Chain A
Amino acid sequence: MIARVILILALQTIFLGGMVAKKQYTHNTGTQILLETQPIDPRSLFRGDYVILNYTISTLDLNQLEGDNEFREHDDIYVKLRKGELYHEPIAVYHEHPGAESGEVVIKGEVNYISDQRWDQATEQYAKVLEAGIEYGIENYFVPEGEGRELERRTEGKVDIRVAVDQAGNSGIKAILVDGEERYIETLF
């Protein structure tokens, strides 16, 4: 019995350790980039307070970008970003990791929808596009209870996210910036 309990504990510890190690590796070795967001809220009973982060790179018009443009729902997608004036901005999308040159970063995501039209509020008509909705696994940020709603109600302040992206394209949130100042910073200790 003791041996079997040790085996269970070993397997579960390896799994949990793997979860931690994967994210910690991205945090420690990844290139840090700044992404622009538009936050929106809900609240999870299970997880306490958190904000849902909607990045400007969460919705891309594939026709405007280099690389591949045939994607389906649930496909992996690699988005090549280049540093702009303040934020990293998308320049190309691929099915496979394309490798990054100096000043570029490749972030991995999953396509959650593809649409060939978008409602244009200016013309009040549908415009022809090839739009992909993408999730990068950095859409949730957990904050101390009660602060999530406050963070999202901020209409005057600008919320930006500093993200670490490792060589494989995996990403993790390093810090939340409100009006350019670091408000929440991720550290191990």
Chain B
Amino acid sequence: MNNSRFLKRLKKDMPEWQKSGWVSENNARAILDHVAGQESSTNTLAYALAILGVLLLGSGVITYFAANWSEMSKIDKLAILLGSLYAAYGSAAYLLDTHHSPKIGQALILLGVILFGANIMLIAQIYHISEHYPNGVLFWAIGGILTAYLLQSQPALIAAMLLGLLWTGMESFGFNEIHFPFLIMWLVFLPAIYHWHWHGALHVALITLITWTVFTWFSIDYYWSKEGYLYLVQLYFVCYLTLFVLGMLMHTSKLLNEFADPVQNYSMLGTLFSLYVLTFPELQSGMTSYYHENYRLPAEPVWIVSTLVALVLLAGLALWHRQRVYVKDRPRYLLYAQILVSATIALIVVNLFVTGVHGSWIALAFNILYFSGMVWLVFAGMYLGNRFLVNIAFVYFALGLLTRYFDTFWTLLNRSFFFMAGGVILIVGGYLLEQQRRKITAMIKAGGGKGEAP
């Protein structure tokens, strides 16, 4: 039955059921809320249109004020701005409270969040306020978070996440510092995602986290601190790997299992990209550019401490996972994982204390870890029934091979031979890899994972 018709029918029958004592008032409200919250394709379309409408309306309000600013007195501007905010939230409250159109109500909450930001920006404009401009976006994001929690609004939380990202981007690029306060805001998103099972918001949260790490990369002054880049990427690698192990741990929990796949997928993207960067001998030696003629130095205390803390966390979570998966059930891919994690910890610790003189050996070790990691990831993806992991393993495997081919043969071979050989390798290698990938993902699709990997 169409969801809205079903809801209509329920609304009609519910008072009778309550009268008969079959359903309490609270339960009736909970059932109606639940059904109203379920998505049918029609609802999704209406929801998407409502959200688009809200975005258009929000940007229309902002540009209208920007164009007609000079013709209004301050008090008129303030009255109109606050009035539109009240109207948006008021209409949302009416629609949500009467269960009339909860989806449109949610869209209007989003409009309220947008208008709150418009109010901040336009009051700043009225009074020519320019103190530390990212703060305006910070307060806007805080308004979004409060709205999300108080009104149980996933769109408001997603808006707050994007605003948080904008805030940290402004801080990172405008003030050239690694902006850690974003992580505090990011942690605030998590209880809502967990409590209300907001999977869409979880995806956005993980994307904002990855984007934040990219921002921090650009916040380091390259010409003054070439070591900073290496140790930062190494720290990313350990942190994303830790997050991946946390995802594995979440798979063993009834409460968190539903969130495990996105956590694993996004964290593995971050892990593999960081590991890929670490395989470059130039980065490991410190001879990355014309400006850097000397080998890189061992890590400074700040990198040693932060990396060791992350490694301890990684080892702790890995051991916890080991404890939760009983010996008789433990598949072989987990035994290989223990070897890989141990090798990773050893390599990272050594790399903190050596200079760039040993850069090529360290890079070689990271390359071995990289390609072994890819093979392991295919096994893990097969066992977990996660095609995404298998697919990215193949993509990174191909990327790694291609990069090493360029690294190794670019200067050794005649250019025309280099390109011809490269072309042949690409065609044949690509065909073989794609065949394997299709075979494995088809196996996962047919078997649903769990136990098919060695």
Contacts and interface: CB of A to CB of B under 8 A. Distances in A.
A9 B86 contact: yes
Nearest to A7: B150
Contact of A20 (B89, B112, B127): B127
A135 B73 CA distance: 28
Contact of B78 (A20, A137, A141): A20
A100 B92 CA distance: 51
Q: Which of A2, A8, A139, A145 counts the most B-chain CB atoms under 10 A from its CB?
A: A8
A: contact size bracket: 35 or more
B185 interface: no
Interface string B100-116: 00000000000010001
A50 B146 CA distance: 32
Interface stretch (B17-25, B129-137, B189-197, B309-317): B129-137
A138 B70 contact: no
Interface in B120-147: 120-121, 123-132, 139, 143, 146-147
B146 A16 contact: no
Given A1-B96, A8-B151, A16-B116, 20 more contacts: A1-B93, A8-B146, A9-B85, A9-B86, A16-B119, A16-B120, A16-B123, A19-B123, A20-B123, A47-B66, A47-B125, A50-B125, A137-B131, A140-B130, A142-B125, A143-B70, A145-B69, A145-B70, A188-B74, A189-B74
Interface of B: 62, 66-67, 69-70, 73-75, 78, 81-82, 85-86, 89-90, 92-93, 96-97, 112, 116, 119-121, 123-132, 139, 143, 146-147, 150-151
A48 interface: yes
B143 A19 contact: no
> Is the contact region of chain B dominated by helix, strand, or loop, or is it mixed?
helix
> Top 4 closest A-B pairs, CB basis?
A144-B70, A137-B131, A5-B93, A140-B130
A119 interface: no
A173 B128 contact: yes
A8 B96 CA distance: 15
B111 to A, nearest CB: 13
Nearest to A20: B123
A23 interface: yes
> Is the contact region of chain A dominated by helix, strand, or loop, or is it mixed?
mixed
Nearest to B99: A1
Interface of A: 1-2, 4-5, 7-9, 11-13, 15-16, 19-20, 23-24, 46-48, 50, 110, 135, 137-145, 172-173, 186-189
B130 A139 contact: yes
Nearest to B139: A15
B114 to A, nearest CB: 12
Contact of B74 (A5, A48, A143, A187): A187
5 contacts: A8-B112, A19-B127, A20-B78, A135-B131, A138-B130
B97 A144 contact: no
B82 A16 contact: yes
B328 to A, nearest CB: 50
Contacts of A139: 130
Nearest to A139: B130
A172 B128 contact: yes
Contact of A2 (B66, B97, B121): B97
Contacts of A20: 78, 123, 127
A6 to B, nearest CB: 8
A142 B77 CA distance: 14
B127 A23 contact: yes
A189 B75 contact: yes
Nearest to B74: A188
Contacts of B74: 186-189
A2 B98 CA distance: 10
Given A137-B129, A142-B128, A5 B78 contact: no
A8 B128 contact: no
Contacts of B128: 50, 138, 140-142, 172-173
Nearest to A141: B128
A145 B129 CA distance: 18
B143 A12 contact: yes
A30 to B, nearest CB: 13
Contacts of B127: 19-20, 23-24, 172
A5 B151 contact: yes
Given A172-B127, A187-B74, A189-B75, A1 B132 contact: no
Nearest to B147: A8
A11 B129 contact: no
A2 B82 contact: no
A4 B125 contact: no
Nearest to B66: A48
A48 B66 CA distance: 6
A42 to B, nearest CB: 12
A7 B147 CA distance: 10
A80 to B, nearest CB: 20
B27 to A, nearest CB: 18
Contact of A1 (B86, B97, B112, B116): B97
A50 B124 CA distance: 12
B151 A189 contact: no
A78 to B, nearest CB: 15
A19 B140 CA distance: 13
B121 A47 contact: yes
Given A1-B151, A12-B116, A15-B143, A137 B93 contact: no
A188 to B, nearest CB: 5
Contact of B67 (A11, A138, A145): A145
A9 B87 CA distance: 10
B407 to A, nearest CB: 41
Contacts of B125: 47-48, 50, 142
Given A137-B131, A189-B74, A19 B124 contact: yes
Contact of B150 (A8, A15, A137, A138): A8
